[in-house]
Structure 1
Amino acid sequence: MNATTATYVPQYRTTTEFLVVHCSATRPTQDIGVREVTQWHRQRGFDTVGYHYVIRRNGEVETGRPETAIGAHVKGHNAQSVGICLVGGINAAGKPESNFTQAQFEALKELLDQLQTRYPNARILGHRDLSPDKNGDGKITPNEFIKACPSFDISTWLRTQ
């Protein structure tokens, strides 16, 4: 069987330590979903979409990988996390920007509430929060971010919800 006809067979997580929020790094004029992200991820060599959920600009939550499957969204942490991708996250110049819609933030809040019911001990983090602590001070600061993703501070946002 060649790569174009191969069927995705998931491996399953045995633990869920993190709920990781991402962005698609697309401009606010781009309304994409699981179909487009799957195409991008397959072009990068993934079997299928790396995220478990994608939240479109209108707030619609689309399911990607099965929730119980190991994702492909944050190096070193896929086997312990659920990946959620908000569509958007960069401006017209390609720079990080929190340009998500109110509908997306409402859908994110509802989805995180549901996921925390299923995984009560899981920590909610942004992708950037799993960057390495390069200076070893116990904090991950902007100068250490591998990516700006999801283009906002998830812990600050959570405190306002």
Structure 2
Amino acid sequence: MRKIKYIVIHCTSGPALQTTKAIKDYWRNSLGWKQVGYHFIINADGTVENLAPIEAVTNGVKNYNSVSVHICYKGGVGSKDTRTPEQKESILKTIKKVLEELKQHQPIDGIKIRGHRDFSPDQNGNGKVDFFEWIKDCPCFDAKAEYKCLQGAKAANDKSLP
């Protein structure tokens, strides 16, 4: 099992009704990816599709994929948080499930939960990634703040990582 440092939350930035097949076809045909972008994708009704085992490296965040597990909800159109109540519940359950699985292989106190946008560079050097520095709006809400309660003290206090 690889060592995980991040659970990264994403949105598809498209309609919640788009099919997973269409998303996979886009990755394969338009981006040329051989692997999927996320480990889990969450439909509008809250059903969770497992696209890859957490041991697999997927294509969620460039330069961080080997140390990340990726969870995505369908939606996020126009940079708006379009999560349904069912998606919100499923994201939370999926994060908890991933942490439970990881706990069997590594300490989880240092795992950080972040949105894709939190991996944007701090271009003005003020020690934080401001909204105008985001290279993506994904996941269209502040995952870092929303899931802070699921992170251990070590992760919350570590300033060296996004």
Q: Structure 1-normalised TM-score?
A: 0.82
What does residue 146 of structure 1 align with? Answer: 135
Q: For each residue in 1:24-47, what CA deviation from the matched residue of structure 2 results, as whole angstroms up to 9, or x when unmatched?
A: 01124x2422x2221110011001
Determine what percentage of the aligned residue pairs are the same residue: 32
Conservation of the 8 A alpha-carbon contact between 2:14 and 2:76? yes
Structure 2 distance, partners of 1:134, 1:54, is 31
Q: Output the amino acid matched with 2:10.
A: H
Q: Which runs of 5+ in 1 are unaligned?
A: 1-12
Partner of 1:81 in structure 2? Answer: 68
Kindly indicate whether the alpha-carbon contact (under 8 Å) linking 2:35 and 2:58 is maintained by their aligned counterparts in 1. no
Deviations along 1:1-42, whole A, 9 cap, x unmatched? xxxxxxxxxxxx6210000000001124x2422x22211100
Q: In the comparison of the two structures, how many residue pairs are matched?
A: 143
**1:3 alignment partner in structure 2:** none
Structure 1 moving runs of 4+ over 4 Å: none
The Cα of 1:71 is off from its aligned counterpart by 1.1
Q: 1:70 to 1:159 in 2, by over 3 A?
A: closer
Report the residue type matching 1:17 in the other structure: K
- Amino acid of the structure 2 residue aligned with 1:127: H
Aligned to 1:23: 11
For 2:25, the aligned partner's letter is Q
Contact 2:2 2:67 in 1 (8 A): yes
> Which structure 2 segments of 5+ residues have no match?
103-107, 151-162
Superposed CA RMSD: 1.7
Other structure's SS at 2:79 match: coil
User: C-alpha distance in 2, partners of 1:104/1:136?
Assistant: 35
